[in-house]
């Protein structure tokens, strides 16, 4: 009965720096993935919602939408997918926020904060796990899109490399938005508040954009908002890379160079919100 | 030389609530300090400051010789923390929880795995090791939480009300573990609302109230301050109260005669501080019997936590209220049974 102290391992020397930060983040990522796999209904709802959006938008709005000069539902269907993909990845925000708020709420965060682990790892681990979940959701959604008639290259030639790049930009956008979710999760008192707080602002962000309608048909004062919306840049980039119809003809910079704009916006969001979140986490007084 | 845990002048306020109001502590290496106090006294806040979870407004602290404020990550390598709210991931199995903690203490995954297996055995969780922790009973969760704090056998342990809410069997099991740890040389700071617990486990006790240490000493010293043993008698008839009081006064300290005996009319209960133990009890019964006073109940009572509190602070400890949890519940507010200090 002496195993408590006699044979107990001593604390290994801290590896420190990036290596430890990465290793710790992976441990927390694994923990969150195990959690997610034990709550399969969460994954299921995460899948049903975007699939439902694809079907509703395609068949409800499809016949009434004019993209460019075309009112062909087929054109709208192909136009829509990039928007739905982008909206879906941003919805990971709510999951990340709720997960982190839940951790903060329970005693577990005190355990983490009392361990000699990298300070950002709890948050990075969560956002990385969300990235994995987003990737799975996106894959399922792409298959559904193909089944109901999305055809990459519909309006312009594309290739596998461009399509991969498009999905990479989507994942990066989703990853960036989970850091916004992390900050929300750290700022609210309950997981429920994090879920609604993580979702509400996404509606204006994703709707005042080029995702679901031709942004040139928005009221004049809204057009620049939509065109400079970081979310729109990724949608435009995907349309361009996938060869989808309905590219915005605007000469606003993010619409002209959407791939670069998407990349810069997403990286900027990660840098800003990761810094703010990690700082807030360190100061969290529980 | 300062002890394994040393704090000077810790102050922490939440808004207009002072949770710590100049707390000094010193726990020599290999000893146990019991931090005793009612809910909201500042016990948890003190633990959170010493375990790097909370920065004090002012004051200094060292744990295992390392400055808590300047080198928090270094301190984290030397401490284990176990609390009243089991800090485990309820969706992970017991084994996964312990492995994760081991890896976050920077153990290699193989070593973390081996240690997890060992601790699960030791804490009688082997059968439940591969079930999610949310299927565990309260006692099992608490054991898992404690196991998580012991993954690397830290030289300094903090336990925040480790037995609150546990049934007697689990409490006893936890006490055994704590004793084993201490005999292995671990320094322990333990917070509790139960004098009995502090009595059993702690070398020294610091009584905390309103963010201040109001008394220190061994449990015997504290009990002595509250007046030691008392004889309590419940008489059968109201009319017997007066004669019984006269008899009991003979056994009191003698200084104040009848005033030594306190009387509760509605319960017909008389209490007198005594020295002399069980033998004296027999004499009291004989004396009362000799004058024909019928008694419903008689007993020798030792000081309880409430006695210590009433004596030291002038108000009773309240066990029912939610423990302060750092969210800023005002300590000391809505106390209804405030009394003048007894001495």
Q: Which of B104, B111, B177 sits opposite A117 (nearest CB)?
A: B104
Is residue A160 over pLDDT 70?
yes
Q: Which helix (H) or strand (E) holds B216?
A: strand B212-217
3-class SS of residue B71? coil
Q: What was the pLDDT predicted at B16?
A: 87
pLDDT score, position B15:
87
> What per-residue confidence (pLDDT) applies to B326?
38
Question: pLDDT grade, residue B113 (50/70/90)?
Answer: very high
Higher-confidence residue of A127 and B229: namely: A127
Report the C-alpha gap between B48 and A244 in whole angstroms: 56
Higher pLDDT, A10 or B184: B184
- Give buried/exposed letters for A11-46 (b at 16+ CB in 10 A, else e): beebeeeeebbebbbebbbbbbbbbbeeeeebbeeb
Question: What pLDDT, on the 0 to 100 scale, is given for residue B340?
Answer: 33
Please classify residue B304 by burial: count the beta carbons closer than 10 Å to its beta carbon, then call 0-12 exposed, 13-18 middle and 19+ buried: middle
pLDDT band at A286 (very low <50, low <70, confident <90, very high): very low
Q: What is the pLDDT of residue A15?
A: 63
**What percent of chain A is modeled with pLDDT above 90?**
57
**pLDDT at residue B304, rounded to an integer:** 67
List the single range of A29-33, B2-6, B55-59, B132-136 with lowest mean pLDDT: B2-6
pLDDT confidence of residue A143: 94
- Residues found in chain B: 343
Q: Please give the average per-residue pLDDT across B142-149, as a whole number.
A: 90
Does this model's pTM top 0.90? no
b/e map B13-27, b = 16+ CB within 10 Å: bbeebbbbbebebbb
Neighboring chain B residues of A286 at a CB cutoff of 8 Å:
48, 53-54, 325-327
Tokens of B45: 């806040």
Q: How far is CA A205 from the centre of its chain?
A: 13
pLDDT at A198 over 50: yes
pLDDT digits (tens, 9 = 90+) for A99-128: 999 888 887 888 898 898 888 899 999 999
Q: Which of A169-173, B189-193, B249-253 has the lowest mean pLDDT?
A: B249-253
Q: How far apart are CA B144 and CA B158, in angstroms?
A: 15
CB contact under 8 A, B87 and A2: no
Q: How far apart are CA A273 and CA A278, in angstroms?
A: 8
Mark yes or no for CB contact B184/A2 under 8 Å: yes
d(CA B58, CA A67): 64
Mean pLDDT of B107-129: 93
Set of chain B residues whose Cβ sits within 8 Å of the Cβ of A27: 100, 103-104
Listed residue (A155, A133, A143) closest to A238, CA to CA = A155
Give the sheet arrangement for strand B5-14, strand by strand.
B17-27, B5-14, B58-63, B66-67
Model confidence at A5, pLDDT cuts 50, 70, 90, reads low
A contact test, residue of B144, B153, B328 with most A CBs within 10 A = B153
Question: What is the structure's pLDDT at B341?
Answer: 36
In whole angstroms, give the CA distance from residue B162 to residue B152. Answer: 19
pLDDT at residue number B338: 34
Q: Taking residues A15-20, what's their average pLDDT?
A: 78
Q: For residue A242, what pLDDT band results from cuts at 50, 70 and 90?
A: very high
Cβ B91–A6 below 8 Å, yes or no?
A: no
pLDDT digits (tens, 9 = 90+) for A49-73: 888 988 888 888 888 888 888 888 8
Question: How large is the average pLDDT for residues A91-106?
Answer: 87
pLDDT reported for residue A33: 94
Q: Flag whether pLDDT at A184 surpasses 60.
A: yes
Euclidean distance between CA atoms A111 and B298, whole angstroms: 48
The distance of B72 to chain A (nearest Cα, Å) reads 9
Query: Hey, do B5-218 and B229-301 end up sharing a CATH topology, with the first three levels equal?
Result: no
- Nearest Cα of chain B lies from the Cα of A27 at a distance, in angstroms, of 7
B77:A117 CB<8 A = no
Tell me the mean pLDDT in the region B232-240: 90
ipTM of the complex: 0.85
Q: Which residue has the higher pLDDT, B305 or B92?
A: B92
E strand segments, B83-178: 156-160
- CA A30 to chain B, closest CA, distance in angstroms equals 9
Alpha-carbon dihedral angle through residues A215, A217, A222, A228, given to the nearest 10 degrees: 20
A130-149 pLDDT per residue, tens: 999 999 999 999 999 999 99
Task: Tell me if B76 and A116 make a contact (CB, 8 A cut-off).
Answer: yes
pLDDT value, residue A282:
82
Q: Residue A199 — pLDDT band, cuts 50, 70, 90?
A: confident
Q: Is the pLDDT of residue B330 over 50?
A: no
Q: What is the mean pLDDT of residues B174-193?
A: 90
Q: What is the pLDDT of residue A42?
A: 82
Whether residue B150 is predicted with pLDDT greater than 60 in this model: the reply is: yes
Question: How far is residue B251 from each of residues A58, B229, B275, B289, measured CA to CA in Å?
Answer: 93, 12, 8, 15
Residue bearing tokens 């006893």:
B172
Partner-chain contact B87 A107, CB within 8 Å:
yes
The predicted-structure confidence for A254-273, as pLDDT tens digits, reads as follows 999 999 999 999 999 999 99
Q: What pLDDT is recorded for position B170?
A: 82
Tell me the C-alpha distance between B151 and B99, whole Å. Answer: 9
**For the residues of chain A, what is the DSSP string, one character each?**
--TTTTSPPPPPPP--HHHHHHHHHHHHHHHHHHHHHH-HHHHHHHHHHHHHHHHHIIIIITTT--BTTB--HHHHHHHHHHHHHHHHHHTHHHHHHHHHHHHHHSTHHHHHHTSSS-TTHHHHHHHHHHHHHHHHHHHHHHHHHHHTT--TTSSS---HHHHHHHHHHHHHHHHHHHHHHHHHHHHSSSHHHHHHHHHHTHHHHHHSSSSSS-GGGS-TTHHHHHHH-HHHHHHHHHHHHHT-S------SHHHHSHHHHHHHHHHHHHHHHHHHHHHHHHH---
Residue pointed to by tokens 């055994």: B176
Q: B62 near B10, Cβ under 8 Å?
A: no
Taking the domains of chain B in order of start, what are their residue ranges? 5-218, 229-301
Closest CA to B174 of B155, B165, B102: B165
More confident residue, A158 or A16: A158
What's the mean per-residue pLDDT of chain A?
Answer: 89
Task: For B68, name the nearest residue in chain A, comparing CA atoms only.
Answer: A114
pLDDT category of residue B272 using cuts at 50, 70 and 90? confident
Q: Of the given ranges (A209-213, B158-162, B298-302), which has the lowest mean pLDDT?
A: B298-302
| Domain B5-218, architecture per CATH | 3-Layer(aba) Sandwich (3.40)
Band of the pLDDT at A12, cuts 50, 70, 90?
Answer: low
Residue B215 distance to chain A (closest CA, Å): 28
Instruction: Give the count of alpha carbons within 13 A of B169, CB side only.
Output: 3
Alpha helix locations (H) across B184-228? 195-201, 219-225
Contact B30, B182 (CB under 8 A): yes
pLDDT beyond 70 at B155: yes
Least confident of A52-56, B177-181, B307-311: B307-311
For chain A, how many residues are written? 286
B153/A8 CB distance under 8 A: yes
Which pLDDT score is estimated for A11?
63
pLDDT of residue A283: 76
CATH architecture of B229-301: 2-Layer Sandwich (3.30)
Q: Provide the pLDDT confidence category of residue B144 given band limits of 50, 70 and 90.
A: very high
pLDDT in tens, B249-269: 888 877 667 888 888 888 999
pLDDT band at B302 (very low <50, low <70, confident <90, very high): confident
Most confident stretch, A97-101, A236-240, B172-176:
A236-240
Note whether B23 and B42 are within 8 A (CB): yes
Stated as kind and residue range, the H or E segment containing B270 is: strand B269-273
Q: Which of these, B230, B232, B186, B288, lies nearest to A8 by C-alpha position?
A: B186
Rounded average pLDDT over B154-176 = 87
Query: For A39-51, what is each residue's pLDDT tens digit?
Result: 888 888 888 988 8
Distance from CA of B306 to the nearest CA of A (A): 29
Closest residue in B to A38 (Cα–Cα): B91
């Amino acid at each position: 009965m002496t195993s408590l102290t006699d044979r107990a391992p001593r604390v290994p020397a801290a590896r420190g720096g990036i290596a430890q930060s990465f290793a710790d983040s992976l441990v927390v990522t694994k923990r969150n993935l195990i959690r997610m796999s034990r709550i399969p209904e969460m994954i299921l709802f995460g899948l049903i919602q975007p699939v439902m959006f694809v079907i509703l938008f395609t068949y409800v709005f499809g016949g009434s939408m004019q993209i460019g000069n075309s009112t062909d539902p087929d054109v709208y269907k192909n136009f829509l997918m990039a928007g739905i993909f982008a909206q879906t990845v941003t919805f990971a925000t709510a999951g990340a926020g709720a997960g982190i708020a839940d951790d903060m709420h329970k005693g577990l965060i005190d355990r983490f904060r009392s361990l000699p682990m990298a300070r950002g790892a709890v948050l990075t681990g969560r956002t990385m796990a969300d990235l994995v979940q987003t990737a799975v959701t996106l894959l399922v959604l792409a298959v559904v899109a193909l089944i109901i008639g999305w055809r990459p290259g519909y309006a312009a030639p594309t290739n596998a490399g461009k399509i991969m790049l498009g999905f990479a930009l989507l994942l990066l956008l989703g990853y960036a938005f989970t850091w916004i979710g992390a900050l929300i999760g750290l700022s609210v008192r309950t997981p429920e508040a994090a879920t609604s707080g993580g979702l509400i602002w996404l509606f204006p962000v994703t709707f005042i954009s080029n995702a679901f309608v031709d942004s040139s048909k928005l009221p004049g004062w809204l057009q620049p908002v939509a065109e400079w919306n970081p979310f729109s840049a990724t949608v435009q980039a995907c349309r361009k890379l996938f060869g989808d119809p309905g590219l915005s003809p605007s000469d606003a910079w993010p619409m002209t160079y959407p791939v670069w704009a998407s990349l810069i916006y997403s990286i900027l969001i990660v840098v800003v919100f990761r810094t703010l979140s990690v700082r807030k986490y360190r100061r969290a007084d529980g | 030389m300062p002890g394994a845990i040393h704090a000077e002048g810790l102050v922490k306020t939440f808004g207009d609530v002072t949770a710590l109001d100049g707390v000094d502590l010193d726990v020599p290496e290999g000893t146990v300090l019991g931090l005793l106090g009612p809910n909201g006294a500042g016990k948890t806040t003190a633990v959170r400051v010493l375990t790097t979870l909370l920065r004090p407004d002012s004051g200094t602290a060292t744990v295992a010789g390392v400055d808590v404020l300047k080198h928090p990550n270094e301190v984290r390598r030397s401490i284990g923390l176990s609390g009243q709210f089991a800090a485990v991931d309820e969706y992970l199995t017991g084994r996964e929880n312990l492995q994760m903690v081991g890896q976050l203490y920077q153990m290699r995954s193989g070593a973390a795995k081996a240690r997890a297996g060992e601790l699960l055995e030791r804490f009688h969780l082997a059968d439940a090791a591969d079930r999610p922790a949310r299927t565990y009973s309260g006692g099992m969760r608490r054991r898992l939480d404690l196991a998580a704090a012991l993954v690397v056998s830290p030289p300094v342990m903090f336990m925040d009300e480790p037995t609150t809410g546990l049934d007697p069997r689990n409490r006893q099991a936890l006490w055994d573990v704590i004793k084993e740890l201490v005999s292995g040389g671990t320094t322990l700071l333990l917070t509790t609302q139960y004098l009995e617990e502090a009595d059993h486990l702690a070398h020294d006790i610091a009584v905390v109230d309103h963010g201040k240490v109001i008394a220190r000493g061994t449990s015997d010293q504290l009990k002595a301050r509250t007046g030691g043993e008392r004889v309590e008698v419940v008489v059968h008839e109201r009319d017997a109260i007066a004669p019984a009081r006269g008899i009991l006064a003979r056994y009191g300290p003698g200084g104040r005669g009848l005033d030594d005996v306190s009387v509760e009319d509605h319960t017909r209960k008389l209490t007198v501080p005594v020295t002399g133990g069980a033998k004296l009890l027999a004499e009291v019964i004989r004396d009362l019997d000799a004058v024909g006073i019928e008694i419903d109940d008689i007993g020798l009572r030792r000081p309880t936590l409430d006695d210590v509190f009433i004596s030291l602070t002038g108000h009773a400890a309240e066990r029912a209220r939610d423990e302060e949890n750092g969210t800023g519940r005002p300590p000391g507010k809505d106390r209804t049974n405030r009394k003048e200090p007894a001495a």
